[in-house]
C-alpha cells in the first residue's frame, strides 16, 4: 500500500516550487513543515486561461528516480543562462535551499541521499491527480497540452507500439500534442494512432517530403474562458536526422521559422488573442525563435528535458520548460485582455510520488495496461552498487554500463552509446529488472552493431555529434548529449569550432593514441541506418549482467574537458 513519507527537514526552509509572477523569485512556505499534497497543488487561480504542460514523459507510467545533469554546458549566447546552470549555481539562481525537496527535484547534488529521503517522482496516477485537480478548479478555462516524447521509453510502450501511452493520455483528455520519438514507431503506426486520436496531433513544421508542402495540421483554435487561444504545434525539427528517416520516408521536418511566423500571423488573423507554441524544439532553439518571431505569447518547450522553476522571458514571450519523465507538470495561468497577455502566474509542480495521492481510476488503468507484462517487467537481472543515471553532456553511469557490455559481449575495441537524454535512474542497492533496463533502451531500432572503423572515422563521428550539441547557433543544435564512448579516452573543447573540438583520442586497452589510419572494432547501438544488424541492445546488456550480477562502476574519467 501507499505509504506517505514525512518530508521533515531539520533546519532547512521548505519552499514550494512556485513562480510568483514576472521574474519573481520563488515564494517560500514556512520553514520546518512537512510538504503536503496541498502545498504542491495550492495555486491561486489567475486570469482567464490556464495552460497545463506535460512533456517528455518517455512512457513512464510508474514513479521513477531521475537524476538531473551535473554538466550541461551552454555555448554562444546561451552560455551561463538557464538551462545551462547546474548544481549549486542553479540553487543560488533560484534561491533554493540545498537539501530541500526542490533541490532534489531540480539538481543532481547529493542525489542518492536525497532520493532516499524524498522518494521517487512522477507516476501517471499522480499526474492524473494534479491534472484533475486543476481541471476541477478551472474547467472551461484550461488547456492540457502534451509536448511529445510521450509514447516511447518503456518496455510496455515498445511491446504495445505505444498503445499503453495512447490509452493513458486519452484518459486525461489532452487538447493537443506534438511529437518526436512518436515517429520512431514508423509512419504507418503514427498515422493509425493519429486517425483515432480524440485530439489533434499538431506539427506545422512537418512537410510532405515529395511535395514540399505542409503535411500536418499547424494549429488549432480553442476558446477558453472567453479567450480565443491558438495552439501551434512544432515537432522536433531534426527527427529524420537524429532518428531513422527510413521509418518516415514521406515526412520532412526542420525549424521552418518562416512558417512559424506565417502561422502565428494566420492565427492572429483568425482572431487568436493568445498564441501558444507547443514546441519540441528544445529550450535554446525556442529562446532564439522567440527572439526572432513576434506574436507568440507562450512557448511550451520540450525536448531538452530541462526543468526550470521560472519562465525564461524573451521580449514578450514566456518560454516554459517542464522537465521530463513525469517529474513535473507546469501550470501557467495567464490573463488575456484585448488580445494581449497582461500577466501570468506560473508553477512548475513537482510530482513527489509519496506526497501526491494517486488517482484511483488511473491507478486501475495503469495496472490493466501493465498486467500482461508484469512477470517480465519484474524479472531480476542484477543488482547495482553504483548509482545508474544517464543525463550529463559527456557520460552517465547507465551508458558506462552499456559501453562495458558492448565491449565485452561484442568483443570490441571501442563502444559507442548514443547521447539520449531519456532513461530513469537506479539507486545503489537497487535490483535491475527488465523494466529498469528497458527504461534506458526501449526503442524500435535497438540493433547492437559491430563494425570496423578507422581512427579518422571515429573522430569524424565525435566531431559531428559535438557540433550537434555545441554549435554556437542554436538552430544547428539537435538537443541530445555527446555520444558516450567506452574503451577510449578523449579531450573535448566545447567552445572550439567543428573539426577542432576533439583531441587526445587514446585507446584505453593499450594506452596508445588512436591512429587515424588504423582500423578498430567498434560496437554500438541505435544506428539510424536501415538494415543495421545485431542483437537488440537489451540482450547484450542482459548477457553482460548474467556474468556480472553485481554492477560496480569506476568513476568515468575518460572524457577530459578543455577550453
Partner 1 sequence: MKINRRQALGLSAGAAVFAAAGFRAAPAVADAAATEVAIKEFTGGIIPAEAGKLTLKTPEIAENGNTVPVSVSVESAMSGDDMVESIAILAEGNPNPGVVVFSFTPMSGAAAATTRMRLAKTQNVIAIAKMADGTFYMDKKEVKVTIGGCGG
Residue 243 contacts partner 1 per CB under 8 A? yes
Residue 527 contacts partner 1 per CB under 8 A? yes
Q: In what order do the strands lie in the sheet with 213-214?
A: 213-214, 207-208, 251-252
| Residue 542 near residue 450, CB atoms below 8 Å | no
List C-alpha distances in Å: 243 to 425, 445, 522: 23, 9, 20
Residue 262 contacts partner 1 per CB under 8 A? no
Please state the closest distance from residue 300 (CB atom) to partner 1, in A.
19
Residue 301 contacts partner 1 per CB under 8 A? no
Of 76, 186, 254, 428, the one binding partner 1 by CB under 8 A: 254
User: Interface with partner 1 by CB under 8 A: which range of 158-166, 205-213, 314-322, 396-404?
Assistant: 205-213
The rounded distance, in Å, linking the Cα atoms of 347 and 42 is: 10
Helix, strand, coil fractions of the chain, as percent rounded to 5 = 30, 25, 45
Q: Where are the beta strands (DSSP E) in 281-327?
A: 298-301, 312-314, 317-321
Residue 450 contacts partner 1 per CB under 8 A? no
Between 76 and 428, name the residue whose CB sits nearer to partner 1. Answer: 76
Secondary structure element (H or E) that encloses residue 138, with its range:
helix 124-138
Please state the closest distance from residue 21 (CB atom) to partner 1, in A.
35
Between 157 and 252, name the residue whose CB sits nearer to partner 1. Answer: 252
Residue 172 contacts partner 1 per CB under 8 A? no
CA 79 from chain center: how many Å? Answer: 20
User: Interface with partner 1 by CB under 8 A: which range of 105-113, 164-172, 355-363, 478-486?
Assistant: 478-486
Query: What separation, in Å, do the N-terminal and C-terminal C-alpha atoms of the chain show?
Result: 52
Between 153 and 350, name the residue whose CB sits nearer to partner 1. Answer: 153
Residue 232 contacts partner 1 per CB under 8 A? no
Secondary structure element (H or E) that encloses residue 252, with its range:
strand 251-252
Torsional sign, CA 243, 245, 251, 255: positive
Of 126, 180, 189, 345, the one binding partner 1 by CB under 8 A: 180
DSSP 372: G
The rounded distance, in Å, linking the Cα atoms of 89 and 539 is: 40
Residue 416 contacts partner 1 per CB under 8 A? yes
Residue 186 contacts partner 1 per CB under 8 A? no
CA 339 from chain center: how many Å? Answer: 32
User: Interface with partner 1 by CB under 8 A: which range of 234-242, 289-297, 376-384, 512-520?
Assistant: 234-242
Relative orientation angle of helices 360-370 and 163-172, to the nearest 10 degrees: 170
User: Interface with partner 1 by CB under 8 A: which range of 138-146, 226-234, 352-360, 526-534?
Assistant: 526-534
Of 479, 486, 494, 534, the one binding partner 1 by CB under 8 A: 479
Residue 234 contacts partner 1 per CB under 8 A? no
Between 29 and 262, name the residue whose CB sits nearer to partner 1. Answer: 262
189 phi, psi to nearest 5 deg: -65, -40
Residue 66 contacts partner 1 per CB under 8 A? no
The binding track of 25-64 with respect to partner 1, each residue x by CB under 8 A or -, is ----------------------------------------
Between 235 and 381, name the residue whose CB sits nearer to partner 1. Answer: 235
List C-alpha distances in Å: 555 to 2, 390, 396, 545, 548: 35, 14, 10, 19, 18
Joined together, the cell numbers standing for residue 507 give 585507446
Between 2 and 246, name the residue whose CB sits nearer to partner 1. Answer: 246
Length of the chain (residues): 563
Between 464 and 515, name the residue whose CB sits nearer to partner 1. Answer: 464
User: Interface with partner 1 by CB under 8 A: which range of 76-84, 122-130, 237-245, 338-346?
Assistant: 237-245
User: Interface with partner 1 by CB under 8 A: which range of 62-70, 159-167, 211-219, 340-348?
Assistant: 211-219
Query: What is the residue-wise DSSP string for 476-523?
Result: G-----PPEEESEEEEE-TTS-TTSSEEEEEETTTTEEPPTTSEEEEE
Between 180 and 410, name the residue whose CB sits nearer to partner 1. Answer: 180
User: Interface with partner 1 by CB under 8 A: which range of 39-47, 110-118, 139-147, 467-475?
Assistant: 467-475
The rounded distance, in Å, linking the Cα atoms of 23 and 287 is: 16
The rounded distance, in Å, linking the Cα atoms of 427 and 435 is: 15
List C-alpha distances in Å: 529 to 23, 141, 466: 45, 45, 20
Q: How many chain residues are in contact with partner 1, going by CB under 8 A?
A: 45
Of 90, 104, 118, 238, the one binding partner 1 by CB under 8 A: 238
User: Interface with partner 1 by CB under 8 A: which range of 138-146, 292-300, 414-422, 424-432?
Assistant: 414-422
Residue 182 contacts partner 1 per CB under 8 A? no
Q: Which residues bind partner 1 (CB under 8 A)?
A: 180-181, 209, 211-214, 236-238, 240-243, 245, 252-255, 258, 416, 418-421, 460-461, 464-465, 467-469, 473, 475-476, 478-481, 483, 498, 526-529
Amino acid at each position: 500500500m501507499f505509504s506517505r513519507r514525512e518530508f521533515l527537514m531539520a533546519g532547512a526552509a521548505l519552499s514550494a516550487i512556485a513562480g510568483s509572477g514576472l521574474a519573481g523569485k520563488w515564494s517560500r512556505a514556512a520553514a520546518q513543515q512537512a510538504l503536503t499534497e496541498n502545498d504542491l497543488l495550492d495555486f491561486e487561480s489567475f486570469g482567464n486561461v490556464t495552460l497545463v504542460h506535460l512533456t517528455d514523459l518517455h512512457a513512464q507510467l510508474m514513479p521513477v528516480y531521475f537524476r538531473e545533469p551535473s554538466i550541461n554546458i551552454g555555448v554562444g549566447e546561451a552560455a551561463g543562462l538557464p538551462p545551462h546552470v547546474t548544481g549549486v549555481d542553479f540553487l543560488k539562481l533560484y534561491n533554493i535551499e540545498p537539501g530541500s525537496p526542490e533541490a532534489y527535484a531540480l539538481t543532481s547534488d547529493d542525489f542518492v541521499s536525497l532520493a532516499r529521503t524524498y522518494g521517487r517522482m512522477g507516476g501517471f496516477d499522480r499526474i492524473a491527480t494534479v491534472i484533475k485537480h486543476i481541471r476541477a478548479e478551472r474547467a472551461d478555462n484550461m488547456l492540457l497540452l502534451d509536448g511529445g516524447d510521450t509514447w516511447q521509453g518503456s518496455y510496455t510502450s515498445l511491446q504495445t507500439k505505444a498503445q499503453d501511452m495512447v490509452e493513458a493520455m486519452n484518459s486525461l483528455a489532452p487538447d493537443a500534442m506534438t511529437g518526436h520519438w512518436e515517429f520512431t514507431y514508423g509512419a504507418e503506426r503514427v498515422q493509425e494512432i493519429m486517425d483515432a486520436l480524440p485530439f489533434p496531433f499538431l506539427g506545422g513544421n512537418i512537410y510532405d517530403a515529395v511535395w514540399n508542402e505542409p503535411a500536418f495540421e499547424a494549429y488549432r483554435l480553442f476558446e477558453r474562458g472567453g479567450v480565443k487561444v491558438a495552439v501551434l504545434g512544432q515537432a522536433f525539427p531534426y527527427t529524420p536526422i537524429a532518428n531513422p528517416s527510413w521509418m518516415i520516408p514521406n515526412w520532412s521536418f526542420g525549424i521552418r521559422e518562416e512558417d512559424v511566423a506565417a502561422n502565428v500571423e494566420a492565427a492572429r488573423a483568425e482572431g487568436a488573442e493568445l498564441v501558444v507554441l507547443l514546441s519540441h524544439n528544445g529550450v535554446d532553439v525556442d529562446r532564439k525563435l522567440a527572439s526572432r518571431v513576434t506574436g507568440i505569447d507562450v512557448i511550451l518547450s520540450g525536448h531538452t528535458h530541462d526543468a526550470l522553476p521560472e519562465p525564461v522571458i524573451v521580449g514578450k514571450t514566456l518560454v516554459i520548460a517542464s522537465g521530463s519523465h513525469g517529474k513535473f507538470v507546469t501550470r501557467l495561468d495567464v490573463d488575456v485582455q484585448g488580445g494581449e497577455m497582461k500577466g501570468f502566474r506560473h508553477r512548475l509542480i513537482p510530482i513527489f510520488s509519496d506526497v501526491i495521492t494517486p488517482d484511483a481510476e488511473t491507478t486501475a488503468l495503469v495496472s490493466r495496461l501493465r498486467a500482461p507484462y508484469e512477470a517480465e517487467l519484474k524479472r531480476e537481472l542484477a543488482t547495482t552498487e553504483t548509482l545508474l543515471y544517464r543525463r550529463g553532456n559527456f557520460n552517465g553511469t547507465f551508458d558506462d554500463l552499456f559501453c562495458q557490455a558492448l565491449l565485452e559481449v561484442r568483443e570490441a575495441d571501442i563502444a559507442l552509446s548514443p547521447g539520449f537524454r531519456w532513461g530513469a535512474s537506479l539507486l545503489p542497492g537497487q535490483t535491475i529488472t527488465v523494466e529498469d533496463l528497458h527504461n534506458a533502451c526501449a526503442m524500435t531500432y535497438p540493433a547492437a552493431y559491430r563494425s570496423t572503423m578507422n581512427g579518422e572515422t571515429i573522430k569524424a563521428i565525435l566531431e559531428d555529434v559535438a557540433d550537434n550539441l555545441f554549435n554556437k547557433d542554436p538552430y544547428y543544435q539537435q538537443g541530445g548529449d555527446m555520444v558516450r564512448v567506452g574503451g577510449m579516452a578523449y579531450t573535448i573543447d566545447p567552445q572550439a569550432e567543428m573539426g577542432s573540438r576533439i583531441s587526445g583520442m587514446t585507446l584505453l586497452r593499450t594506452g596508445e593514441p588512436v591512429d587515424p589510419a588504423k582500423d578498430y572494432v567498434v560496437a554500438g547501438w541505435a544506428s539510424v541506418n536501415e538494415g543495421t544488424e545485431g542483437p537488440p541492445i537489451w540482450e547484450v546488456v542482459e548477457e553482460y549482467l548474467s556474468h556480472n550480477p553485481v554492477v560496480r562502476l569506476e568513476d568515468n574519467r575518460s572524457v577530459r574537458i578543455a577550453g
